[in-house]
């Protein structure tokens, strides 16, 4: 399989035929694919080292039999979207911003997705009447300063549909920021063309794109060019990363990813502790591991390369920072990046 074929792998049989999994795994892969959506774009298939049974890109996209092992702690809605959805397509968890879930499809389906019970082929997106109601809700809440386009992945939509949504949001005076969360610039960089970039720009509003990337190999030359098209057009970019066992849970890999993002003019924003999504225990690390990784980055990589380590509290209570603390409990000493403590006046 190579990117020139232009074919996204959408079934267990296609994954096996592309030599991304052995044929003796076909039955297990089919069982997983019957429950959770599968899609691997040519760009991602080409990155996978078929000779490495533990390839970090494959771990993100190729189904694993352990996905059928469910923990009682896991949930189909691990961050509580439903409890904070006043109308279809809207999640209003924080006072000054809302999620607008335009579509329930993605270019690829990550094996750790926290919305894996809600996204997939045929799930569709917001119908015109539901979109109008969602926009009416935003217009009726003057405290909403920022609208975050999400899904699914909003950049699987056509430039025409995106431009229409951005235009309608731009007409709401109190909305000042439009933020788009997406995997597309790395998993399908060819989609970031001039028409799509134009669609994301809103007159008199600030447009941001937040890229989801988890491993430095994802920042290919084509992915970097896609990011450059956005940044050069005046659309600032941030990045969010999910901490994943066997993918980026060592300082060298995580640091290389953060440097690759900054070199692409994409500012690391969040490092997410993996959510309690069904069948994802094999990909989650412990919080202490994540804190140790953040300590390993501090002082050894540029301040531009430091994301905020956060946990989305189950039940819809929002994100909280869970990074390491360098200040003593009484505020009398501060720890440097080498682990040495220094006295400092608390007042």
Residues tagged active-site = 93-94, 97, 106, 110, 113, 115, 275, 312, 319
Whether the CB-CB separation of 301 and 260 falls below 8 Å is answered with no
Q: For residue 117, how far is the Cα from the chain centroid?
A: 16
* Cα–Cα dist 195/157, whole Å: 12
DSSP E strand stretches across the chain:
90-94, 97-101, 146-150, 177-182, 206-212, 237-243, 266-273, 308-313, 318-321, 333-335, 341-343
DSSP class of 148: E
Tell which residue, 124, 119, 154, 107, has the closest CA to residue 9: 107
Cβ count near 74 (within 10 Å): 17
Is omega for the bond preceding 212 within 30 degrees of 0, making it cis? no
């Amino acid at each position: 399989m190579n990117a020139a074929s232009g074919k996204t792998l959408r079934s267990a049989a296609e994954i096996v035929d592309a030599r991304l999994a052995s044929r003796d795994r076909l039955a297990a892969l089919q069982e997983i694919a019957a429950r959770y959506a599968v899609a691997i774009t040519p760009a991602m298939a080409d990155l996978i080292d078929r000779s490495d049974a533990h390839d970090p890109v494959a771990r993100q996209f190729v189904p694993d039999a352990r996905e059928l092992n469910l923990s009682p702690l896991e949930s189909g809605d691990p961050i509580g979207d439903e409890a904070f959805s006043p109308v279809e397509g809207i999640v209003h968890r924080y006072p000054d911003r809302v999620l607008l879930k335009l579509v329930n499809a993605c270019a690829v389906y990550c094996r750790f997705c926290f919305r894996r019970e809600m996204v997939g082929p045929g799930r569709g997106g917001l119908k015109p009447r539901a979109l109008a109601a969602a926009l009416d809700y935003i217009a009726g809440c003057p405290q909403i300063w920022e609208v975050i386009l999400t899904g699914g992945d909003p950049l699987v939509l056509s430039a025409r549909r995106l431009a229409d949504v951005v235009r309608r949001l731009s007409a709401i005076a109190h909305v000042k920021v439009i933020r788009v969360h997406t995997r597309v610039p790395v998993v399908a960089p060819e989609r970031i063309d001039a028409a799509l970039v134009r669609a994301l720009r809103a007159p008199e509003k600030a447009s941001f794109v937040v890229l989801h990337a988890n491993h430095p190999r994802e920042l290919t030359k084509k992915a970097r060019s896609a990011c450059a098209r956005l940044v050069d057009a005046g659309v600032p970019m941030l990045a969010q990363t999910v901490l994943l066992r066997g993918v980026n849970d060592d300082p060298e890999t995580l640091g290389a990813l953060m440097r690759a993002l900054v070199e692409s003019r994409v500012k690391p924003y969040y490092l997410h502790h993996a959510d309690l999504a069904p069948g994802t225990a094999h990909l989650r690390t412990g919080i202490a591991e994540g804190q140790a990784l953040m300590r390993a980055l501090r002082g050894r990589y540029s301040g531009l390369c430091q994301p905020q380590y956060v946990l989305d509290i189950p039940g819809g209570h929002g994100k909280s920072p869970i990074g390491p603390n360098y200040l003593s409990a009484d505020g009398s000493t501060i720890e440097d990046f080498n682990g040495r403590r220094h006295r400092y006046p608390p007042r």
